[in-house]
Amino acid sequence: MDTGEIANTPEPPYYAVIFTSVLGPDHDGYYETAARMAELVAESPGYLGHESARGEDRLGITVAYFRDEDSIRTWRDNAEHAAARARGRAEWYDGFELRIAKVERAYGFRRAE
Amino acid sequence: MDTGEIANTPEPPYYAVIFTSVLGPDHDGYYETAARMAELVAESPGYLGHESARGEDRLGITVAYFRDEDSIRTWRDNAEHAAARARGRAEWYDGFELRIAKVERAYGFRRAE
């Protein structure tokens, strides 16, 4: 989930799950798990897309977009996702903040080829 | 705005401005302007904090947090910020998406020292 593109989300309203994290010095297995989570979330009902970036300072932001709050709960309750979260907290992250937000307005720009 | 820490935001509700962008190959002056905007937004009324990350693939996410919609409008109407946005669109970005969202719930974790 550390590379990607701008998500092609529909017209608002929809939901954003903003996950900001700081990776600790030891994070064996983190990138493999993140890639697996990116595959898995894309199959979750109501998923609309996600974006992710992590800089050299180890601060990363992933924003996943969902149709509604039920879709967020379904993803939260996925057993493999829950196991990955538990490992993140126990092993990988020095800290994180998760914010659930309702997207009210959006606009974008794509440069013509 | 490309390095930083997890923002210490208050209890929800508050607002998030999620700005996802792809830097183009030519971005002279971008990092200087981004640093200046990070200084400037911190002085804007109702600003609560921001987080920013950009990976090697040039996808970056900046999330700025504000007390309310009025605070977002005040920052949008800042003349120096407006000039930077115009330059971003004309010169720096291959694309971006800006989403305005109301943060409804949040929780975090910080590892004990």
ipTM: 0.94
Please indicate, yes or no, if residue B19 is contained in any of the structural domains.
yes
Does residue A2 sit within a domain?
A: no
Specify if A21 maps to a domain. yes
- Check: CB of residue B49 under 8 Å from CB of residue B8: yes
pLDDT at B113: 64
**Domain membership flag for residue A6:** no
Q: Which residues of A touch B108 (CB under 8 A)?
A: 95-98
Q: Which tokens is A22 given?
A: 């700081």
Q: How far apart are CA A61 and CA B4, in angstroms?
A: 11
φ/ψ of A14, rounded to 5, equals -160, 180
Residues from chain A contacting residue B54 (CB–CB below 8 Å) = 53, 55
* Edge-to-edge strand list for the sheet holding B47-54: A47-54, A59-66, A14-23, A93-110, B93-110, B14-23, B59-66, B47-54
- To 10 degrees, what angle do helices A79-87 and A30-41 make? 150
Q: What is the C-alpha R_g of chain B? A: 14
Residue contact B61–A51, C-beta within 8 A: yes
Range of the domain at B76: 14-103
| DSSP H or E run through A22 | strand A14-23
pLDDT beyond 50 at B3: no
SS3 for B92? helix
Chain position carrying tokens 């092609």: A8
Q: What is the mean pLDDT of chain B?
A: 94
- pLDDT higher than 70, residue B37: yes
The answer to whether residues B15 and B71 touch, using CB atoms and an 8 Å cutoff, is yes
In this complex, the residue of B97, B101, B107 whose CB is nearest that of residue A102 is: B101
| Residue contact B108–A96, C-beta within 8 A | yes
pLDDT at B112: 81
pTM recorded for the entire structure:
0.95
Residue B2 lies in a domain: no
Higher-confidence residue: A3 or A106? A106
Q: Where are the beta strands (DSSP E) in A24-73?
A: 47-54, 59-66
Residue from B30, B56, B42, B32 nearest B5 by CA: B42
CATH number at residue A74: 3.30.70.100
Q: pLDDT at residue A75 above 70?
A: yes
Which percentage of chain A shows pLDDT scores above 70?
A: 96
Q: For residue B7, tell me if it sits in a domain.
A: no
Name the 3-class secondary structure at B90.
helix
How confident is the model at residue B57, as a pLDDT? 87
pLDDT digits (tens, 9 = 90+) for B48-61: 999 999 998 899 99
Q: Is residue A4 part of a domain?
A: no
User: Is the per-residue pLDDT at A3 higher than 80?
Assistant: no
Per the domain annotation, does B6 fall within a domain? no
**Of the partner residues A60, A102, A107, the one whose CB lies closest to the CB of residue B53:** A60
Using one digit for the tens of pLDDT, what is the confidence trace for B5-27? 999 999 999 999 999 999 998 88
In chain B, DSSP assigns E strands to 14-23, 47-54, 59-66, 93-110
State the nearest Cα–Cα gap between A81 and chain B, in angstroms.
17
Residue (of A9, A79, A8, A66) closest to A37 by Cα position? A79
Number of domains, chain B: 1
Task: Retrieve residue B93's tokens.
Answer: 């970005």
Total residue length of chain B: 113
The answer to whether residues A63 and B61 touch, using CB atoms and an 8 Å cutoff, is yes
What confidence tens digit (pLDDT) does each residue in B63-74 have? 999 999 999 999
Rounded to an integer, the average pLDDT of A74-101 is 96
pLDDT band of residue A2 (cuts 50, 70, 90) is very low
